Structure 1
């Protein structure tokens, strides 16, 4: 049924519920927030595993970084297919299965004795599970349940990952230091399993499931039928998107975003600080502080995205991030001092502030396919993260320090700022297919 015909359906024939003071969409967003927090434990652990695995098994940082790299790459490459799977099977089923896979992958690591088992459990299983509920999960919920406040909701849901890092990172770092890395891996598995009942009982796939309109919509939106051929649809959307210039610019900037956050700071900050004599628990606590200010920065970025030009916001975010990375090598010392705290606060505010404007630009250029396109853009984010997670470990093995990695990442961020400014504005209703035909 077309959008015009749907609008013509008499309101008395549309399902309805008695009005409530708080729209149901906000409850769904709250459940999504809690789900992402519970799954964020696995994002906190990789940087804490490098030194313990190196000491216990003698694996090089490059070898361990390769497993983290596989995890990050699959996290991104699975995301666009996950968005299509959610259209086919529903959000609840996909997210519940993903959390179970994460729990299995993390729990099985306690019995590993060889590097290939780390790649299988942490790289493959946790990578696939986490990718199935990556930021495409937040994008799908936002697109279905909200027609207003999308930038703000995107910022809140993106901040959930940082909130989870804030909660779990100090706990996991203390666990690793006091009891070893195995209890920390079990903690991640239990955290993922704990969230499954919340998803299954409280999350709903579409506003029509409970007879309400999307938040801000003036008309009831019927639930669309399941979309078959999830893989085919993801690939067809990609085939159309790659013919457009904005896709490559968004993918390029987001790859640099991933390289300078998940790949660089999240994976290598703790071992780099430890190289300079800082205790692991202190370095992990600094990462947790990044999580605190990440929440503030991402929600603020969502608010800004609803009011200002997303391209310019991205340019400012990347430029400031690049400048801060150039100063990091001189800030690493055995103790935590005010300039380091300033860097942590600043970097936290900018950590994933790039997500709301990037998602807004995907909506602007690709319309109804924006969640899947954003999934592919997220894939580039994680490929960039994966490359730096691996190359950063290799650079540390070869040069004995991370200095060159910080400087190179700063230069990449400067390039991302310029790329963001090149993205052209398009009508908000433009879709992938229309752009492809126009091309």
Structure 2
């Protein structure tokens, strides 16, 4: 596939070695690409922070039940995951910036169009289908694609930083979205999300490029004596994605990673991300206060994910995963006793620990996929991430049903804690032996 020579960045002379860059490359172009990727992930994260803050005002205006709104979020989370492996193949085939620019446009259309809703089925279209496809097309496989193509060294750290982009989006957008929903109305909050997504499109288009060769450099940390040019993808993108699944599904390590990551999605995006604010509201806490607590989760998520990337470059990723799932399970067991109408120090401690652990699982999981499945690792990680979102979708819907059936979220929190034990056991059973096959 022909790649364009853009002019968004100044033409820089090629550096023979990616790490450290030459004096003429004070900042390696890979870091500029990573910065714009971070910005794009941040912009797409706007809606991911929104449902928890918008469910209460939607219920008050339209009378829609928690189960109905949870169903729309579940469709969103499911498509967010299932789109990911195909998006990875599309990025290989048609280019990163084309896919990412289209994805941000879909997010803007879904968020902006939702202000016209009058019936609950329209929530499935705007929140579920459009935004699900948009966010899924630039999910964490986008972070893995950038890290794998542009970096040889610092790969785990870069995946950690880019994964934190979603947390940063949650941090930035959740408090104003909640505030706008209470004061100016949920429609104004939705339009804010749409505007931010659209604003990121031109930056992505003019800066992102597919490969370091498009900038006349090697990947960061590459040795010119051993580095070979990347294999350019050809053929049908959907077929490549399905072939990647067929190849990986024959390996036990894939299933261990996929099931554990499904539990990761269930206990973050599905449970806390969607239902923490409504649950806190059940205990008498103001929506804006609960949104502020969830934003604090985002603050510590940034630190936790970047630290996890650094640790992944130094320690066995499987041991890290066991520790992360164990801490998460303990937090969920204790949560029913921590919720109240005011913020206590124990709740602050929960928010800090859960924030540090929120998506700390991403760098070790992505690195294991690359280590075990080689060049297929990004697409395989796409399928593992799809499992993450299947788990999130199931938990989002299941917790809504539990709340409507029992009048409390307690059983949902405890069920998530039990799943974390299973995820920890599965993580330690992953075999790091490479499973490679001809491309």
Task: Please tell me the TM-score bracket, short chain as reference.
Answer: over 0.9
Q: Is the contact made by 2:285 and 2:340 (CA closer than 8 Å) also made in structure 1? A: yes
Find 1:394's aligned residue among 397, 401, 407.
401
Post-superposition Cα deviations, 1:353-391, rounded to whole Å, max 9, x if no partner, equal: 000000111011100011100000000000000001111
Residues 97-176 of structure 1: pairs in structure 2 closer than 5 A:
97-176=102-181
Separation (CA, whole Å) in 1 of partners of 2:156 and 2:251: 24
Residue 22 of structure 1, CA deviation: 1.5
Residues 178-235 of structure 1 deviation map (CA, whole Å, 9 limit, x = unaligned): 1111111111111100000110011111100011000010126535434221000000
Whole-angstrom distance in 2 between the partners of 1:41 and 1:124: 16
CA RMSD across the alignment: 1.3
Match of 1:303 among 296, 299, 310: 310
- The corresponding residue for 2:36 is 31
Query: Which sections of structure 1, spanning at least 5 residues, go unmatched?
Result: 1-14, 435-439
Shift of 1:433: 6.0
> Are the aligned partners of 1:71 and 1:124 in contact in 2 as well (CA < 8 Å)?
yes
Match of 1:78 in 2: 83
Matches within 5 A, 1:14-29: 16=14, 19-29=24-34
Superposed CA deviations along residues 59-82 of structure 1, whole A, max 9, x for unmatched, are: 111011000000000000000000
Partner of 1:46: 51
Instruction: Give the direction of change, closer, same or farther, for the CA distance of 1:145–1:277 in structure 2 (3 Å limit).
Output: same
Q: Report the Cα distance in structure 2 between the residues aligned to 1:115 and 1:381, rounded to whole angstroms.
A: 26
Residue of structure 2 equivalent to 1:292? 299
**SS class of match (2:68):** helix
CA distance in 2, matches of 1:52, 1:174: 11
TM-score by length of 2: 0.93
How big is each residue's C-alpha offset from its partner over 1:398-437, in whole Å with a ceiling of 9 and x where there is no partner? 000000000000010011111111111214xx42569xxx
**Contact 1:240/1:433, CA 8 A, preserved across alignment:** no
Segments of 4+ moved more than 6 angstroms: none
SS at match of 2:347: helix
- The equivalent residue for 1:181 is 186
Normalising by structure 1, what TM-score? 0.93
Superimposed CA distance per residue, residues 1-40 of structure 1 (whole angstroms, 9 cap, x where no aligned partner): xxxxxxxxxxxxxx83574122111111111111111111
Partner of 1:7: none
Q: What does residue 198 of structure 2 align with?
A: 193
Unpaired segments ≥5 residues, structure 2: 1-12, 16-21
Partner of 1:261, secondary structure, is: helix
Out of 425, 430, 434, the position equivalent to 1:423 is 430
- Structure 2 partner of 1:58: 63
**Structure 1 residue 54: deviation in Å?**
1.3
Q: Deviations over 1:315-373 (max 9, x none)?
A: 11001100111000000000001000000000000000000000111011100011100
**1:264 pairs with 267, 271, 281, which one?**
271
Distance 2:438 2:277 in 1: 45
The aligned residue for residue 205 of structure 1 is: 210
Give the number of aligned pairs.
Answer: 418
Residue of structure 1 equivalent to 2:257: 250
3-state SS of 1:133 partner? coil
- Distance in 2 (alpha carbons) for counterparts of 1:416 and 1:267: 21
Looking at structure 2, the residues matched to 144 and 31 of structure 1 have their Cα atoms a distance apart, in angstroms, of 15
- Partner of 1:3 in structure 2? none
